[in-house]
Chain A
């Protein structure tokens, strides 16, 4: 059980990488780190299925594959439907004695495209049907693989190729869809957010998601240096700043009960530790236009929305 699972950094580092080296992700790609960490959290036989997207493409260029576990990709919008079919087949084939009678964990992984937007229907349907699987969203906040186009997960004010910052419009005008809260509203047993800087927290949450009987949803923050126009060396640092500014707080919702995770709880207990969003925005080229007199008001708006969502979260966690 995840509660009893104690591990050191060495334990994790010693586990062989089931997401193998030699994939063709960009230098400094945080989603790649996230994939490695997810695979370090496995507890037994596992089948992984992906939606079309960066991680799927860079890791399975025929005839090469980076996956040391059974792995399947079919299309963009159906990672959750993929998982539904796999999980159903395993259950029935075990029952009929056609395959080894052992539990197999099923993980569906998708980017923000394959989760917020085109993938949402299949996700919502799969969790409503109660399939036993873990859905991991690696959120780099745009359709990165096709060239940085905006998604429902792109935050307010971010410049993307379909919501560019121009003379009259300062990037995306809509705030980030609260996908994890939407999954909480589906009343599934486990929903959580994670960030790769807090690797221990992420690994434990993956394990918890696997252990849950029924659907589990994990929203992982995954900076993209290419799309965010940030330095490749800063991707993990950005995943820390996002938590420290409360742009991406870390929490779990276990059977409907919200619980703040340690890195965010620290801030809740000592609000002076909460960093201004400006610190987070300044490191990314996709927000560069906000640091001009024309659009600087938007930074206040971003701060306002961040604070509002943070307060709402604290209330849900009983800490307001």
Chain B
């Protein structure tokens, strides 16, 4: 790549990578509330503010619900806004997630994935963001601190894109990724500032009969957040869905544009396939576990096993076509779910991967492995066992048990 910019390497954990990226993105308002394991993001950012390193208004709200509200309304007033949360905090924001998407506010949020109560658990699993997959937010799951840094920057561009205008969350596994220090290549400030640019506003028709930029502005008064009866509500939801469709393209475009200057790619931006081209058996997973799986895949390949991995980077919008094309030639697929949809026979990723494959003429066998709930570690040995299972399933040509649990004590 020709235009790759010179970058310096910093030792940052996932949370610090988030804060550093936000520092560079010319964010106007950060309204946040602390929750383990995201606290470092808000703490680090408040240090930048206290040292005058950013021109950002930092508001310590009294709850996550108010944090997202303040980010939403600041965004509708024209500010570029950011917040971060996890687990119970994200759950508390639930109502406002839908409102933010409905108001088409391009708020960016980092989520340090953490288990939901009860019982209370502060460690990493993906149940918090999986529970919000219907909310109309773009969801990007990062594998390592480098990707966290890159994704936060890209998220502002994706969210603010005139054909998208949806809020976006960048997800990093709690503790595993949020607190692990890695080498992160960071771009120079001016390069990032140029990449994210200045917020643009779409024009909307107001009650004064004018087309005016979508912003709370005394020069162009408009009413936002009205009551829409059954005769209109449906149309706005269709608009949001259209924006999600457009986001599939936009995520790729922004990823590619960013790759030009950073020299880094993550698959095509939506899906990151690892040694999948001729794979007979493969796993699907999101987030940092992919790193461990890649090690196992390499070990298996050494032994001549045609193993592969599909890491889903963009979970919303779901790259249905991409998943189908990537997996339909695989004989047996193990979806690794770091969350569970109680009563639904498996986890969300399992359901959605099966959905993506349903219309294919070729029918890979798909099984679900629920793993790592409440921050439980999953070892390479356990992942080897999954691939062993897959070999068996591929040989038998059928699935005995659709949903299994990794590392669960019976």
Contact = CB atoms under 8 A, between A and B. Distances in A.
Chains A and B bind each other: yes
Interface string A118-137: 00011011101100000000
Contact of B232 (A62, A78, A81, A96): A62
B218 A47 contact: yes
B217 A70 contact: yes
B28 A89 contact: yes
A78 B31 contact: no
B56 A84 contact: no
A89 B227 contact: no
A39 to B, nearest CB: 12
Nearest to B33: A125
Given A47-B77, A88-B57, A92-B28, A72 B66 contact: no
A138 B167 CA distance: 33
B327 interface: no
Interface in A83-103: 83-86, 88-93, 95-96, 98-100
A17 to B, nearest CB: 14
A4 B210 CA distance: 37
Contacts of A173: none
Contact of A69 (B218, B225, B228): B218
A125 B63 contact: yes
A46 B69 CA distance: 20
B66 A84 contact: yes
17 contacts: A46-B218, A49-B73, A65-B223, A71-B216, A71-B221, A72-B223, A75-B95, A82-B73, A85-B71, A85-B77, A86-B216, A88-B57, A89-B28, A89-B77, A98-B198, A125-B61, A126-B66
Nearest to B28: A92
Interface of B: 28-29, 31, 55-57, 59-63, 65-66, 69-79, 81, 95-96, 99, 103, 198, 207, 216-229, 232
A85 B226 contact: no
Given A72-B73, A86-B74, A78 B65 contact: yes
A77 interface: yes
A309 B182 CA distance: 63
A72 B229 contact: no
Nearest to B222: A70
Contact of B226 (A73, A89, A96): A73
B77 A67 contact: no
Contacts, number: 159
Given A75-B95, A129-B60, A92 B79 contact: yes
A65 B55 CA distance: 36
Contacts of A64: 207
A72 B55 CA distance: 26
B73 A70 contact: no
A61 B226 CA distance: 6
Given A46-B218, A86-B77, A128-B62, A81 B69 contact: yes
Contacts of B224: 71-73
Given A72-B223, A86-B77, A126-B66, 20 more contacts: A62-B226, A62-B229, A65-B226, A67-B223, A69-B218, A70-B221, A72-B216, A74-B69, A81-B70, A82-B70, A84-B70, A85-B69, A85-B71, A88-B70, A92-B57, A122-B62, A122-B63, A122-B65, A122-B69, A129-B59
B221 A85 contact: no
Contacts of B65: 77-78, 81, 122
Contacts of A95: 55
A204 interface: no
B73 A122 contact: no
A279 B99 CA distance: 45
Interface string A247-290: 00000000000000000000000000000000000000000000
A89 B74 contact: yes
A72 B76 CA distance: 9
A60 B226 contact: yes
A93 B79 contact: yes
Contacts of A60: 223, 225-227
Contact of A85 (B60, B72, B198, B220): B72
A51 to B, nearest CB: 11
A129 B62 CA distance: 9
Nearest to B70: A85
A125 B96 contact: no
B69 A78 contact: yes
B95 A124 contact: no
Nearest to A83: B73
Given A46-B218, A95-B55, A85 B225 contact: no
Interface string A98-119: 1110001000000000000000
